[in-house]
Homo-oligomer: A and B are copies of this chain.
Amino acid sequence: MPCPEREVNPVSETFPKQSGSARPTMIDVAKRAGVGLGTVSRVVNGGAGVRDETASRVRAAIDELGFQRNEVARALRPGKKSSSLALVLGDLTNPFYATIAKASLEVAGQDGFAVVLGSVDEDPEGERRAIQELIGRQVAGLMIVPDQGDHSFLAGAGVPVVFVDRPAHGIEADIVMVDNEGGGKLATEHLLRQGHERIAILLAPSYYTTGRRLRGYRRACRAAGVEVDESLVVQLPEGTAEAAEKATRELMHRPDAPTALFASTNFLTEGVLRALREVTAPPGVGEPAVVGFDDFRMADMLPTPVTVVASDIAELGRTAARLLLDRASKTDTRPPQRIVLPCQLIQRGSGELALPK
């Protein structure tokens, strides 16, 4: 039933092969147009101060030779930082990161900037190496979704940095993030309002963001006069769906199982849902309520549509990119900013399951 094994064929059409000929330079263009090097440069950059007739001769030469400016050489000149931004983040397969990447790509593209993705391992040392690499490439600015670990080595880099989603230690720089504490509070309040008092919260390991979400959770509980059972605050060893699934299964098998769960990350939400699908609730006890953090595709299509606390992730990426571009161009010289985007509760059903009896 599976398809044939991976197959490899030489392609056999008769299109032009890729030729390895060297690319023409401005000097070639200058010779061809019978003008000086400086004139070509002027034409290429807007062409102010060049007679129309000369300019069109140069343009003709450019077209004939298929010349294209060598951005690398251009970026070598002092003051001319390369027109690329670096983006350092985790797993692109996570829609959260993918959305940030897409949004910043759009904004950067509008200004003619490319985006360089550093390869991002998970360990702090790998992140540091990747960042150093990118700085070596003379990017005009860095957008970083930082891991834990010290980032003070960025202080002397002479490149503007914007942190996304969470602050970094050891350096004062711009930061764009969502209101994690407010979102955690929102989710928890909502569950409390449905009558739940045993609300478990699942946390990815030691991330700044989930810490703030936990804080919102605690605040909401305290405000409602509900004491937090610390055994329901679950610090996972990993931020994966699998870890959340395992933890949820264990939670729900306890005699004093929670009646509601707050999954503080989209992958964790997935794990929680997987576990709940299998767990048969004790007789007389209904399906536990679930609220997730960060919206995800198909959330409204599941058997019980999933209630989430969400923020505008694309806006997060756009804001960060815009801010970084302004910093890079020295348009924005304010002191480092801290921009916090609001969260919002999206009710779909799973969070509105009332406490049974």
| Chain A interface residues (CB < 8 Å from chain B) | 1-11, 13-23, 66, 68-73, 75-76, 82, 84, 91-93, 95, 98-99, 101-102, 105-106, 108-110, 112-121, 130, 132-138, 152, 154-161, 170-175, 179, 182-183, 186, 270, 273-274, 277, 296-298, 301-303, 334-345
Contacts and interface: CB of A to CB of B under 8 A. Distances in A.
Contacts of A102: 91-93
Contacts of A135: 68
B335 A10 contact: yes
Nearest to A133: B114
Given A72-B137, A106-B119, A138-B70, A8 B158 contact: no
Contacts of A158: 18-23
Copy number in this complex?
Answer: 2
Contact of A342 (B2, B15, B161, B302): B2
Contacts of A342: 2-6
A18 B119 CA distance: 24
Centre residue among A19, A93, A112, A117 by max chain B CB count within 10 A: A117
B114 A116 contact: yes
A55 to B, nearest CB: 20
A119 B117 CA distance: 12
Nearest to A168: B15
Nearest to A82: B72
A109 B119 contact: yes
A208 to B, nearest CB: 14
Contact of A69 (B95, B136, B155, B334): B136
B114 A8 contact: no
10 contacts: A10-B335, A16-B152, A19-B158, A72-B75, A84-B137, A93-B99, A105-B117, A115-B117, A297-B298, A302-B302
A339 B6 contact: yes
A114, A120, A172: most-surrounded residue (chain B CB, <10 A):
A114
Nearest to A327: B18
Contacts of A116: 84, 114-117
Contact of A8 (B11, B108, B109, B339): B339
Given A8-B339, A18-B160, A172-B15, A274 B297 contact: no
Of the candidates A120, A155, A298, the one having the most CB atoms from chain B within 10 angstroms of its own CB is A298
B301 A170 contact: no
Contacts of A335: 10-11
Taking each of A13, A18, A91, which has the highest tally of chain B beta carbons within 10 Å of its own beta carbon? A18
Contacts of A343: 2-3
Contacts of A138: 70-72
Nearest to A159: B18
Contacts of A70: 136, 138
A81 to B, nearest CB: 9
